[in-house]
Amino acid sequence: MRTARTSTANLRLIIAGAAVLLVTLIVDLGPGVALTGYFGLGPLILAAACSPWITAAIGAVTVAVGICSGLWDDRFGSGQHIAAVVLVLIQSVIAVYICVYRDRQRSKLHRVQAVAEVAQRALLPAVPNRLDGAGFAARYLSAAEEASVGGDLYEVVPTASSIRVIIGDVRGKGLPAVRLASVVLGAFREAAVTWLDPEQVAAACARAVLREAGPEDFVTALVLDIHPDGRLGMCSAGHHPPRLVSPDSARTVQLRSPSPPLGLAERFTTTTDHWAVGDRLLLFTDGLIEARDRQGSFFPLDERLDLLRGGGQEEALDRLTAALGTHAGGALHDDLAVLLAERRTPSAPPVPAPPVARVAVD
């Protein structure tokens, strides 16, 4: 979406620059009108979209046309004509400088984006496509075009008895939010394989936030346990309840006694539920339900849950994020993390081989 918007903006700038060149030239050809000094406006506009070499070539042509303009307006060689040509030359040189400076800044931005992408992969590694009894797909969309990582987080950790999942949203933006998200993920990865109950995992994450967060910082989070027999255990720390989508129905999972966010609470309550093979569970952050259209209406998630049915999980998330982009006009105002889990048929445990009869032979 961002690439398409950039291409459209560049095309508009090129059209505008060409139009200015053409209009000033046509008007200058008229009797009694001398607009030679305005010829340089075209290269200045085109500098925002064209490469330095193309801008320099256009500037050279513009200067040449400015010199020739003295022939048809009978001012060739006059002081006024020379001043106008010098002005066009200066404008063309400035246009080339703008192009060079823009390309340097764009190169720096690309390097920063590359570092951000590496940081995102380290902070949010790809979730496993499939674990025993469940499949997963995830998306992370940053509201800032110049960044690809923020304060939203998710992780999937297999344990000996269950699959543990967290999704969360750090208050605030920028590097402090990224740092606090890394603290939560580190605490979760350790606690997920240490503690037996999801409320203990949530409490461990809360203690980590209390140690590292500022007085006004907190993290909303949802800790999920997925058991092989279809049981679900959830602890909400001020986070949105997930949506459970079945082949013929969809509902919001009702959380029992949701607690305040991590950093504001240390005790949590577990909600239990159940899902069947083929059901899908959607976990998400604020960016999904708080995206607004031009009229200020929020994205109607519960009315679009049918998009999560059918096809693969990656395809289902593509449909959902495409609908969100259409609703928001392609511009998100908050970071977004979504994770879609699907219950699969667990693999059968290995069948032990029957004992081999041993016959004693005298």
pLDDT single digits (tens) 296-350: 899 999 999 999 999 999 999 999 999 998 998 877 777 889 999 999 987 755 4
98 and 146 together in one domain: no
User: Would 360 be classed as within a structural domain?
Assistant: no
**pLDDT exceeds cutoff 50 at 136:** yes
CATH number at residue 180: 3.60.40.10
Rounded to an integer, what distance in angstroms lies between the CA atom of residue 315 and that of residue 217? Answer: 35
User: Would 178 be classed as within a structural domain?
Assistant: yes
235 and 256 together in one domain: yes
Rg (CA), the chain: 31
| Domain housing 146 | 128-343
User: Would 50 be classed as within a structural domain?
Assistant: yes
- Alpha-carbon dihedral of residues 226, 227, 228, 231, nearest 10 degrees? -100
300 and 201 together in one domain: yes
Work out the percent of the chain whose per-residue pLDDT is above 70.
Answer: 76
Query: Which two structure tokens, joined as six digits, stand for 97?
Result: 């400088």
> Among candidates 162, 153, 155, which has minimal Cα distance to 134?
162
- Provide the pLDDT for residue 308: 96
192 and 310 together in one domain: yes
Write the DSSP assignment of 61-102 as a string of letters. Answer: HHHHHHHHHHHHTT-TTSHHHHHHHHHHHHHHHHHHHHHHHH
Q: For the full predicted model, state whether its pTM sits above 0.85.
A: no
pLDDT mean across residues, the chain: 81
Rounded to an integer, what distance in angstroms lies between the CA atom of residue 158 and that of residue 160? Answer: 7
pLDDT tens digit sequence for 5-22: 555 655 665 666 566 666
Rounded to an integer, what distance in angstroms lies between the CA atom of residue 188 and that of residue 182? Answer: 10
User: Would 304 be classed as within a structural domain?
Assistant: yes
More confident residue, 222 or 64: 222
pLDDT tens digit sequence for 165-219: 999 999 877 677 888 888 999 999 999 999 989 999 999 999 999 998 877 789 9
**pLDDT exceeds cutoff 60 at 251:** yes
User: Would 122 be classed as within a structural domain?
Assistant: no
**Least confident span in 69-73, 90-94, 249-253:** 69-73
- 357 pLDDT tier (thresholds 50, 70, 90): very low
Question: Under 8 Å CB-to-CB from 233, ≥6 apart: which residues?
Answer: 162, 197, 198, 224, 225, 227, 270, 271, 272
Write the DSSP assignment of 211-228 as a string of letters. Answer: HH--TT--EEEEEEEE-T
216 and 257 together in one domain: yes
Strand order in the sheet with 243-246: 130-131, 134-141, 336-343, 280-284, 243-246, 249-252
- Provide the pLDDT for residue 116: 63
What backbone torsions phi and psi does residue 262 show, to the nearest 5 degrees?
-60, 135
145 and 108 together in one domain: no
- Provide the pLDDT for residue 163: 96
223 and 323 together in one domain: yes
**Inter-residue contact 279 to 343 (CB < 8 Å):** yes
Write the DSSP assignment of 156-216 as a string of letters. Answer: EEE-SS-EEEEEEEESS-HHHHHHHHHHHHHHHHHHHTT-SSHHHHHHHHHHHHHHH--TT
User: Would 189 be classed as within a structural domain?
Assistant: yes
- Provide the pLDDT for residue 11: 61
Rounded to an integer, what distance in angstroms lies between the CA atom of residue 225 and that of residue 270? Answer: 10
pLDDT tens digit sequence for 74-111: 677 677 777 777 887 888 888 888 888 888 888 887 77
- Provide the pLDDT for residue 362: 40
181 and 301 together in one domain: yes
**pLDDT exceeds cutoff 80 at 248:** yes
User: Residue 133 in 3-state DSSP?
Assistant: coil
How many structural domains compose the chain? 2
Rounded to an integer, what distance in angstroms lies between the CA atom of residue 311 and that of residue 325? Answer: 20
pLDDT tens digit sequence for 28-50: 555 555 556 666 677 777 777 77
User: Would 306 be classed as within a structural domain?
Assistant: yes
43 and 148 together in one domain: no
97 and 135 together in one domain: no
User: Would 142 be classed as within a structural domain?
Assistant: yes
Query: Which two structure tokens, joined as six digits, stand for 8?
Result: 């459209």
92 and 145 together in one domain: no
16 and 86 together in one domain: yes
- Provide the pLDDT for residue 209: 93
Which of the listed ranges 12-16, 53-57, 258-262, 302-306 does the model predict with the highest average pLDDT? 302-306
